[in-house]
Amino acid sequence: MKKLAIVFHSAHGHTEHLAHHVLDGARSVPGVEAHLLRAEDLAQNPDGLTPYDGLILGSPTYLGGVSGSFKTFMDATGRLWRSQGLKGKLAAGFTVSSLPAGDKQSTLMSMFVFAMQHGMLWVGNPFLPEQGQGVADGDAVNRLGSWSGLMAQAAHGAPAGAFVAGDLKTARMFGQHVAQTMGRVGGTIS
Ligand SMILES: Cc1cc2nc3c(=O)[nH]c(=O)nc-3n(C[C@H](O)[C@H](O)[C@H](O)COP(=O)(O)O)c2cc1C
């Protein structure tokens, strides 16, 4: 079995809700064991990442970047950087914010650079937006048009599950895609 960790922070529940859909997609792939891990817990114990073959990173977008709690987790992996403990693992990222753009790309880029600094292999979100194929905007896969990673939008103050169907479907497809990719190429380089 290959092991996949979905590492997330969520202050108000939106990112956590999306993480569960990413998890469902990942778990649909035979041969892959997927777990949700809280960034706050890993910040105390970054070695908890060692058994995993791949990481999916998830953070809300706060002021155009990852949240403070997620950055604390990232910084806690400094010793793993020195020992190259994450080298060769797969990495991918997702973010939630309240505005259609909201500078989500910047959040994904900080996750990408983090993964590159650790020598990880980045996996994107390779789905054509379905609006162009006659699907209603709210139901469309990758309606926000993000290939670097998964983006989703949730109105500020809305209940945690208040995503449009297209964003949740994209989340499941994204989790499935990362898990399938891990099945093909994942594994730590020694
Ligand atoms: C401090 C702070 C900064 C935020 N910055 C942005 C932002 O830059 N762009 C945006 O679209 N939404 C922004 N938001 C809205 C959050 O991204 C949004 O509410 C998100 O769903 C929160 O995720 P969570 O429920 O998992 O905590 C911000 C919210 C907070 C509290």
CATH code for the domain of 136: 3.40.50.360
Closest ligand 1 atom, residue 18 Cα = 26
- In this prediction, residue 185 carries a pLDDT of 82
Domain span at residue 35 reads 2-185
The answer to whether position 190 is within a domain reads no
Task: Please tell me the distance between residue 97's alpha carbon and the centre of ligand 1 in angstroms.
Answer: 5
The residue to mutate among 107, 153, 156, 163, having the most atoms of ligand 1 within 8 angstroms of its beta carbon, is 156
71-81 per-position pLDDT tens digit:
999 999 999 99
Task: Please tell me the distance between residue 161's alpha carbon and the centre of ligand 1 in angstroms.
Answer: 15
- In this prediction, residue 187 carries a pLDDT of 52
Q: Which helix (H) or strand (E) holds 17?
A: helix 14-27
Nearest CA to ligand 1 atom 1: 62
- In this prediction, residue 161 carries a pLDDT of 87
Rounded distance between C-alpha atoms, residue 131 and residue 140, angstroms? 6
Give the total number of structural domains in the chain.
1
Ligand 1 pocket, residues with Cβ under 6 angstroms = 10-15, 60-64, 96-99, 102-103, 154, 156
Which pTM was predicted? 0.96
- In this prediction, residue 18 carries a pLDDT of 98
Contact indicator for 91, 54 with CB cutoff of 8 Å: yes
Ranges of the chain whose pLDDT falls below 50: 190
Q: How many Cα neighbours within 13 Å face the side chain of 97?
A: 21
- In this prediction, residue 132 carries a pLDDT of 84
